Amino acid sequence: MARRKAPVKENHERWLVSYADLVTLLFAFFVVMFASTQSDHARAKQISQAVEKALKSGTTPPKIAAILGGAVDDRGHGNDAMRGPAVRAPNPPKSDDAPKPGDVPKDLQATVNLLRSRLAAEIKSGDIEIRVEERGVILGLNSAAFFALGDATINKDIYPTLDRVAHILNGLPNALRLEGHTDSLPISNSRFHDNWELSAARSIAMLRVLNERYGVPRDRMAIVGYADTAALDSNDTEQGRGRNRRVDIVIFSAIGLRAEPRPSAPTSATPSAKP
């Protein structure tokens, strides 16, 4: 007699498979969202890798692995969690020490007041011009008052003015830079081949007078020749060219000094005797 087959019971729990897949997908989605909001890239990467490892040890659908695996490039799949969430770096905070355009650096306010007070007559006559920049205070010496045309020898009639300037500089601890400038008219004579040589020679002449006559230490000063490359005014008029022919004494602020090379330690003038 043939045995009767037992009737196959209908599985009413099939929905659990789909439900489990849905729960897993939701879990992966929220992990990804959490990781993408973290500013700690290393920690976000660890979380993503831990979840990926846990899911891969079981029956992880391929779509979840693609989500957690991170993208190799911008065109890949996933949220790029393997490289850490894409969080924009915040803008660096602005320093309170940095002055706004036209403002006097905090560490040079007293110096500006002193210069304007002691050199009021020269400023009024146009022999000296005071300008303020972020790098420091610029004392502009009008070339027509301090030098003969096309020459780098300082006019001795201007020494009383230099006396006052040097007295102020000797009372300051700031580093100084002497910058020579010319107009755009070409020059070529027996002493100077071009405006570059003239601007540098005037800077050197000013350095020597300030050091040898007034005792301003050389290790506080540097010289630069700009020729006509840093004009203050138009070279199309005589008035503009006259303003461009100048020697600037830059009194560095603390911010301006950051870009300057540090002076080396002084060395002995005489070599030490060998043992």
Buried b (16+ CB within 10 A) or exposed e, 120-145: eebbeeebbbeebbebbbbbbbbbeb
Stated as kind and residue range, the H or E segment containing 200 is helix 195-212
Q: Which two tokens stand for residue 116?
A: 């304007």
Residue 151 has pLDDT above 70, yes or no: yes
Residue 21 has pLDDT above 90, yes or no: no
Q: 257 versus 38: which is more confidently predicted?
A: 257
235 C-beta neighbours (distance < 10 Å), count: 15
17 C-beta neighbours (distance < 10 Å), count: 10
Q: Which residue ranges make up each domain of the chain?
A: 18-83, 106-259
Of the pLDDT bands very low, low, confident and very high (cuts 50, 70, 90), residue 174 is very high
For the stretch 69-117, pLDDT in tens is 544 444 444 444 444 444 444 454 454 555 555 577 777 888 999 999 9
Residue 164 has pLDDT above 70, yes or no: yes
CATH topology of domain 106-259: 60s Ribosomal Protein L30; Chain: A; (3.30.1330)
Rounded to whole angstroms, how far apart are CA atoms 124 and 34?
Answer: 67
Rounded to whole angstroms, how far apart are CA atoms 266 and 202?
Answer: 26
119 C-beta neighbours (distance < 10 Å), count: 18
Residue 51 has pLDDT above 80, yes or no: no
